[in-house]
């Protein structure tokens, strides 16, 4: 018999032949048979008779067991060439807990059927709709629209557009584009005496003092003249109107309430208190740390005619908010 080591090594081909002898089954009179086999027939035999797996696949694609369980093909999961990421081209269902130790970015909808608990910061850059319980132990920043159809419980501070948490008694108010903590609506009443009326052009009367870092947002005002003079007495206001504002000059763009000339105190014998003028503010700019005052538009004192002695008081009610500006 030839010595196998004396033959040169070579790579087998499908057409190469091998010689083998079959072994008869026990308790049979069959004689052993020697025959030849091709390499390709042996490969097919191993696949079909011994469940050897075959198939093909695409580079960097996670393999998939095909329905017969013997052939591997491509799945919908691929890995980047450098191994730094995995992409799932279809739906991913997780039947048990799902843990992520790094960042998670969702470019589509997130639906949570049960309680979702975030133990660190949650940043939402688009619309968020919460139909059940939303619990966050860390900070939550909502830069888009947030719709809460159930109860919303805030157990820590809520920051406004200026990152302020507000002070006791303040309310969260819309600025039109954001929200801001402001003082709740307040009303103050002041009675302007006859002596103050007679010099109100030179010396406007302060209703509220200036507050550093805040402006007065006037929401509305009433003016009630109470005349106490006798028949024939009257102040001549020279056609000017009254105003409530934070300054007594450059009124063109000032945030103010104007009181028409006909609602200024006459100082005569007319019965006062029956007609109260109610007005909302004229839009305009404001400045911080300025007092709220009442004066007249031409900064002119009323004229008292010779022989007359008009007398009156002026009751003013102002509804306002203090808004922080720094």
Sign of CA dihedral 156, 160, 166, 169: negative
pLDDT at 242: 94
In a domain, 119, yes or no: yes
pLDDT at 303: 95
Does residue 320 share a domain with residue 204? yes
In a domain, 197, yes or no: yes
Round to whole Å and give the CA distance between 315 and 184: 23
pLDDT one digit per residue (tens) for the chain, 326 residues: 567 677 777 788 887 777 777 777 777 777 777 888 787 777 777 666 666 666 666 777 777 777 666 677 777 888 887 777 888 888 878 888 888 777 777 777 777 777 777 777 667 666 667 666 767 676 777 776 777 777 777 778 888 888 888 887 788 888 778 888 877 889 999 999 999 999 999 999 999 999 988 889 899 999 999 999 898 899 999 999 999 998 777 788 889 999 999 899 999 987 555 578 898 999 888 888 899 999 999 999 999 999 899 999 999 999 998 887 76
Range of the domain at 18: 14-22+33-57
Does residue 138 share a domain with residue 242? no
pLDDT at 2: 63
In a domain, 85, yes or no: no
Round to whole Å and give the CA distance between 239 and 193: 21
> DSSP for 98-158?
---SS----SS----SS-EEESS-EEE-S-EEESS-EEESS-EEE-S-EEESS-----S--
Round to whole Å and give the CA distance between 180 and 15: 85
CATH code of the domain containing 245: 2.60.120
In a domain, 97, yes or no: no
Count of domains for the chain: 3
Does residue 206 share a domain with residue 151? no
pTM here?
0.50
In a domain, 299, yes or no: yes
In a domain, 198, yes or no: yes
In a domain, 65, yes or no: no
Does residue 256 share a domain with residue 196? yes
Does residue 224 share a domain with residue 313? yes
In this structure, which long-range contacts are made by residues 159-167, counting pairs with CB atoms below 8 Å and at least 24 apart in sequence? 162/324, 164/324
- Encode burial over 102-135: b for 16+ CB neighbours within 10 A, e otherwise: eeeeeeeeeeeeeeeeeeeebeeeeebeeeeebe
Structure tokens at 88: 């799932």
Does residue 142 share a domain with residue 203? no
pLDDT at 194: 96
pLDDT at 203: 95
Last residue of a domain, one of 156, 178, 213: 156
Does residue 259 share a domain with residue 152? no
Q: How many Cβ atoms sit within 10 Å of the Cβ of residue 139?
A: 13
CB 277 within 8 A of CB 222: yes
Does residue 306 share a domain with residue 236? yes
Cβ-Cβ contacts under 8 Å for 213 (sequence gap 6 or more): 288, 289, 324, 325, 326
Closest C-alpha to 284, from 244, 308, 256: 256
In a domain, 64, yes or no: no
Does residue 133 share a domain with residue 194? no
pLDDT at 85: 80
Round to whole Å and give the CA distance between 203 and 99: 71
């Amino acid at each position: 018999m030839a010595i196998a080591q004396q033959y040169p090594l070579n790579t087998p081909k499908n057409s190469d032949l091998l010689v083998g002898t079959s072994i008869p089954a026990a308790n049979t009179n069959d004689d052993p048979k020697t025959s030849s086999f091709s390499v390709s027939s042996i490969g097919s035999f191993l696949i079909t008779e011994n469940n050897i797996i075959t198939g093909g696949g695409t580079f960097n694609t996670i393999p998939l067991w095909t329905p017969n369980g013997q052939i591997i093909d491509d799945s919908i999961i691929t890995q980047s060439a450098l191994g730094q990421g995995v992409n799932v081209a279809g739906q991913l269902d997780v039947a048990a807990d799902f843990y992520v130790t790094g960042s998670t970015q969702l470019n589509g909808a997130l639906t949570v059927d049960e309680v979702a608990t975030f133990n660190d910061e949650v940043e939402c850059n688009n619309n968020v709709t919460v139909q059940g319980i939303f619990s966050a132990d860390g900070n939550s920043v909502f830069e888009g629209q947030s719709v809460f159809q159930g109860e919303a419980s805030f157990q820590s501070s809520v920051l406004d557009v200026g990152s302020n948490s507000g002070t006791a008694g303040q309310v969260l108010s819309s600025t039109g584009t954001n929200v801001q903590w402001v003082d709740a609506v307040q009303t103050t009443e002041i009675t302007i005496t006859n002596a103050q009326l007679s010099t109100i052009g030179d010396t406007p009367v302060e209703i509220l003092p200036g507050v550093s870092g805040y402006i007065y947002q006037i929401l509305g005002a009433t003016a009630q003249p109470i005349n106490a003079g006798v028949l024939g007495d009257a102040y001549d206001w020279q056609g000017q109107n009254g105003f409530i504002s934070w300054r007594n000059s450059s009124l063109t763009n000032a945030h103010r309430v104007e009181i028409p000339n006909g609602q200024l105190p006459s100082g005569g014998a007319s019965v006062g208190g029956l007609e109260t003028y109610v007005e909302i503010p004229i839009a305009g700019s404001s400045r911080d740390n300025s007092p709220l005052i009442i004066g007249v538009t031409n900064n002119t004192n009323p004229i008292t005619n010779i022989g007359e002695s008009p007398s009156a008081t002026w009751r003013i009610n102002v509804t306002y908010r203090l808004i922080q500006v720094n």
